[in-house]
Amino acid sequence: MVNKTRALSVAALFAVAGIAAGCGSTTQTTSAAGSHKNVTITFGWWGGTTQERVTENAIKLFEKKYPYIHVNEEFGGPFNTYFQKLTTEMAGGAGPDVMQMDYNYINQFAAEGALLNLKGAKDISLSNISPSVVAAGDVHGGLYGIPNALNADAVIYNPSKFAQVGYTGNQRLTWSQFASLVNKRDSPEFRGICG
């Protein structure tokens, strides 16, 4: 989940911290702001160095806003490394309290009983998220994840190269038609468009 709003997205993800904190460690303190349980939660995520830096900054902002919640950071590195480690941790019952999850894994972990069903949780407001987006976290009627970002697939092409093989950009193409055009890449006028 890599865009400019990542810091806000991660901070929004931590709105679940109050519920997930049941898994973390707690102590009771009283401050001028009132009585709060000091909570320590673990947050796991993957990504590159930019995502690591942005997420760490979001965690600092979160801890500043909620000084009674401490976040142990568990950066997992690249996608595959993160999920290999996470799968092992979850199997042993030692996964993070809050984690970045991929759509391809949420069904697996929910089916294994490793994720908390958030459906009906009183402290989570989903009113500013489209129901079609929230549905990505639905597994058999339970809510096991709240999307913090969406990816958009796009095709970017060089119009002049495509025009040389007959595509003017005015007609809609099926994937098969697009593949036929791309397969012309070995022709001299199209060379270089696809690597």
In the block, tokens 């696809």 appear at 194
Average pLDDT over residues 81-91: 93
**Taking 80 as the threshold, does the pLDDT of residue 70 lie above it?**
yes
**Taking 70 as the threshold, does the pLDDT of residue 32 lie above it?**
no
Element (H, E) at 181: helix 175-182
The number of helix segments (H) and strand segments (E) in the chain equals 8, 6
**What is the C-alpha separation between 171 and 73, in angstroms, rounded?**
49
Model pLDDT, residue 88: 93
Give me the DSSP letters along 91-111: HTT---SEE---HHHHHHHHH
Q: Domain boundaries in the chain?
A: 6-143, 154-195
* Helical packing angle, 103-111 and 79-91, nearest 10°: 10
Helix (H, G, I), strand (E, B) or coil at 38: strand
Model pLDDT, residue 13: 47
pLDDT digits 0-9 by tens, 145-155: 988 777 777 77
Lowest mean pLDDT of 61-70, 144-153, 160-169, 180-189, name the range.
180-189
Model pLDDT, residue 150: 73
Query: For residue 33, what pLDDT band results from cuts at 50, 70 and 90?
Result: low
Higher pLDDT, 83 or 122: 83
**What is the C-alpha separation between 16 and 6, in angstroms, rounded?**
16
Query: For residue 43, what pLDDT band results from cuts at 50, 70 and 90?
Result: very high
Model pLDDT, residue 154: 77
Average pLDDT over residues 16-35: 50
Model pLDDT, residue 173: 84
Average pLDDT over residues 51-61: 94
Helix (H, G, I), strand (E, B) or coil at 165: coil
For 6-143, CATH number? 3.40.190.10
In the block, tokens 């593949």 appear at 179
Between the alpha carbon of residue 37 and those of residues 11, 20, 27, 46, 101, the distances in Å are: 20, 13, 5, 29, 27
Residues 6+ positions from 195 with CB-CB distance below 8 Å: none
pLDDT digits 0-9 by tens, 179-194: 887 777 666 555 554 4
